[in-house]
Amino acid sequence: MSTLKDIAEKCGTSVATVSYVLSGRGAEKRISAEMQAQVAAAAEQLDYVRKGRSKTALANRVTVYFPLNNLRMLLPTFWEGFNSAVNVETTNIDIILRPYELNKLHLQRELWTAAQHSAAVIISPSGIDLANLSDAQTAVPVILLNRILPNYSSVSFDQVESGQLAARHALKKSGSDIMLVSSKSLFGVTWRGNAIIDYCRSNGVNLQNNVFYADTSIAAGYELGKKLAAKKHLAKVIVCTYDMTALGISAALTEAGIKIGEDVQLIATSTSNEELFAHSTPPMTVVDLRFKDVCQMAMRLAMDIATGRASYPQDISIHPVMIYRKSCPM
């Protein structure tokens, strides 16, 4: 049987840190969300059982399945949201983090057989994974994060509203001189981009010739930003459907001598580190998707369903908020 020391050695931290995290006191002791997630994952890998708890008692736990794609960089944010729900819970609940490969969720056998958990949260499954879920019956209640499927509960960002908020502000600031930067690599990002195009079209503005695509990274945004900086005409407002891409574009334009907030205004949709955009140069206007709130609600719903306090299935949508800053003020 593994010990706290085994987990500490695997994570390169102290036994005390591991103990605080596993007892739900990580936030109280100001342990980073990244370290908390690392400890939780290591405890699962080592099959750690807290002292005084039997395997049977571990049925009172929630397994979180996260995809092994570029969403991994958001794992600390996921964990912070999930753990915040547990910290206010009077029932003793364990969170188990379990990675999965996209399109291979069906290989996670505990979803389909008698399980050692009372509920599961699945983060952003692919279309193939959703099809497999639709064709089979899971052994425990499942809450889908940022996906909707009949007969399953879900907690999602309101992608359409987030796109509409960004488009409405862009039209207000520019009239019709808007450039959209989207991506085809992530479902939610594409959905937001389509919502922006549709909203502008419904208001008499066709973005067809002013839509650019980039991968969802700072580096990809930077490379696109260099190309945009070389254009003869740069739109009054650039709307980015992914936050990291916006940071890269901002850096490239600034490097080219183009002043963000003056020569061109920039809006981004933010899914990760809101504090980062509050302190960027200049501070960036964002549509905040309330990522941590979505994770917190998903975990709270999982616990409520597991303990019989909520009906199953049900769908919850979290509304985004617009935060105005110097890159594109009110």
Phi, psi of 3, rounded to the nearest 5 degrees: -125, 170
SS3 109: helix
Reading the block at residue 40, the tokens are 């939780």
| Superfamily name with CATH number, domain 4-157+291-319 | Response regulator (3.40.50.2300)
Angle (CA) 40 32 276, round 5°: 125
More confident residue, 89 or 319: 319
Q: Could you say which DSSP state residue 143 is in?
A: E
pLDDT tens digits, one per residue of 119-128: 899 998 988 9
Average pLDDT, the chain: 85
Q: Alpha helices of 90-186 — where are they, by DSSP H?
A: 127-135, 159-174
| pLDDT band (50, 70, 90) for residue 216 | confident
Q: Give the domain 159-290 fold.
A: Rossmann fold (3.40.50)
Above 70 in pLDDT, residue 38?
yes
The sheet with strand 315-318 has its strands ordered as 94-100, 61-67, 119-123, 142-145, 153-157, 315-318
According to DSSP H, which parts of the chain are helical?
4-11, 15-22, 33-45, 75-87, 127-135, 159-174, 187-202, 218-229, 243-255, 274-278, 291-306
Torsion of the alpha carbons at 251, 215, 38 and 54, rounded to the nearest 10: 150
Segment 60-81 shows an average pLDDT of 77
pLDDT band at 88 (very low <50, low <70, confident <90, very high): low
Q: Average pLDDT, stretch 277-294?
A: 91
Mean pLDDT over 159-165 rounds to 94
Quick one: average pLDDT of 82-109? 79
Region 129-149: mean pLDDT is 89
Q: Where in the chain is the domain with CATH 3.40.50.2300?
A: 4-157+291-319, 159-290
Predicted pLDDT of residue 210:
92
3-19 pLDDT per residue, tens: 778 888 899 998 778 87
What pLDDT is attached to residue 73? 67
Is 75 within 8 Å of 273 (Cβ atoms)?
no
Beta carbons of 282 and 327 less than 8 angstroms apart: yes
